[in-house]
Amino acid sequence: MERILKAAVLGMGNMGRGHARSLMRMEQVDIAALCSNPVDDARHFAEENHLVCPVFDDFDRMLDEVPIDVLYICLPPFAHDGQFEKAAERGIHIFIEKPVALTAERGMAMAEAARENKIITQVGYQMRFGTAVKKFKEYMDNGRAGRPTLYMADYECNSLHGPWWRDVKKCGGQVFEQVIHLYDMGLYLMGRASSVNGYIANLCHTQVEGYTVEDTSTCSIRFENGALGSVCGSNCSVKNQWNARFRVICENMTADFTDQNHGVFTFTDKESVEIVEIAGDTDCTYEEDCYFIGAVLGEHKAMADIQEGYEGLRLVSAVVESSGQEGKTVRIHP
């Protein structure tokens, strides 16, 4: 008989509910418990979805009372308080939403806990699962794209979001919370970063009470393989739009992505230019959840694991650190 994994979800807001819905669609998974503070978030989800399982507001009690194989951590950044390490010590496999912590040091401790306890981990970088991103990776892996030379990305929106999001002490800032998806994409497509120079600023929200995060950011990246990159972020752009666009110039191909599912690849290595257009409709959250469960069941190797979550966190921390030093170069990997 197929193995059934017992899952728990910690944090039942937007992301916790989304992942719980994915898990409910999978035959190999039973949701064994939900935890949130306030507990009503978990209780309402269970009631609305006819899910029969215990709900908790106390994470430690949930760990003591319910045997679980996999844990989804979907907390806001400020609420991370050692839950990752506690679950890792019990050998529980962990999916965790980005950013995995508010400091690179905390991210490194999590990666160490995962290694020590030999657990499978995955971070919520669902853009990696987009149709166009997967196709691009194929062209990279089979050599058709050639060497990647330049990565250009920009994340734009215009929203006040929720109260914790506007508070830099609770969320880390827009680079930690949102633009990190594009920093991760840069690491995924170009390889490890060796150094960055960054600037962040609050230009449009100085009069908004409690708004202490930056609304504008930019950075230059040098990758270990010699390639270069730039990533910009803005929360002063078009209202009701969330755009995450990126572009990669490789030796034989230039790829333009309007999002992870849509890309135009222009091959530049022949006399006549060849263009390939990709338009997919992958449900990337469901796809990443299926991938994580498959990795726990031993069907394939892990992807976007906590070490990679740490690398992304290290990169955005370096952007903020550089900005605090007038854009001075911050080294990441020697």
Ligand X SMILES: NC(=O)c1ccc[n+]([C@@H]2O[C@H](COP(=O)([O-])OP(=O)(O)OC[C@H]3O[C@@H](n4cnc5c(N)ncnc54)[C@H](O)[C@@H]3O)[C@@H](O)[C@H]2O)c1
Instruction: Return residues touching ligand X (CB under 6 A).
Output: 10-16, 35-38, 41, 74-77, 79, 97-98, 124, 126, 162, 177
DSSP state of 128: G
Closest CB to ligand X among residues 116, 283: 283
Using an 8 Å Cβ cutoff, are 115 and 109 in contact?
A: no
Using Cβ positions, the residue closest to ligand X within the complex turns out to be 13
SS3 string, 129-172, reads HCHHHHHHHHHHHCCCCCCEEEEEEEEECCCCCCHHHHCHHHHC
Distance between CA atoms of 45 and 40, rounded to whole angstroms?
8
Using an 8 Å Cβ cutoff, are 285 and 181 in contact?
A: no
Closest CB to ligand X among residues 102, 119: 102
Distance between CA atoms of 184 and 310, rounded to whole angstroms?
10
Indicate the residue type of 15.
Answer: M
Three-point CA angle 300, 302, 308, nearest 5°: 160
Closest CB to ligand X among residues 15, 318: 15
Strands (E) across 74-227 are located at 93-96, 121-123, 148-156, 193-201, 216-223
Closest CB to ligand X among residues 14, 268: 14
Beta carbon of residue 133, minimum distance to ligand X (angstroms, whole number): 14
Closest CB to ligand X among residues 130, 198: 130
Beta carbon of residue 77, minimum distance to ligand X (angstroms, whole number): 5
User: Which residue carries 């270069």 as its tokens?
Assistant: 228
Distance between CA atoms of 247 and 227, rounded to whole angstroms?
13
Closest CB to ligand X among residues 69, 177: 177
Beta carbon of residue 280, minimum distance to ligand X (angstroms, whole number): 17
Closest CB to ligand X among residues 177, 311: 177
Beta carbon of residue 71, minimum distance to ligand X (angstroms, whole number): 12
Beta carbon of residue 159, minimum distance to ligand X (angstroms, whole number): 12
Closest CB to ligand X among residues 178, 197: 178
- For the record, the structure tokens of 97 come out as 């939403």
Distance between CA atoms of 88 and 147, rounded to whole angstroms?
38
- For the record, the structure tokens of 174 come out as 């827009």
What are 48's strand-pairing partners?
none
Beta carbon of residue 275, minimum distance to ligand X (angstroms, whole number): 30
Beta carbon of residue 237, minimum distance to ligand X (angstroms, whole number): 18
Beta carbon of residue 112, minimum distance to ligand X (angstroms, whole number): 21
Closest CB to ligand X among residues 79, 150: 79
Q: Residue 63, exposed/middle/buried by CB under 10 A (0-12, 13-18, 19+)? A: buried
Distance between CA atoms of 168 and 166, rounded to whole angstroms?
6
Beta carbon of residue 161, minimum distance to ligand X (angstroms, whole number): 9
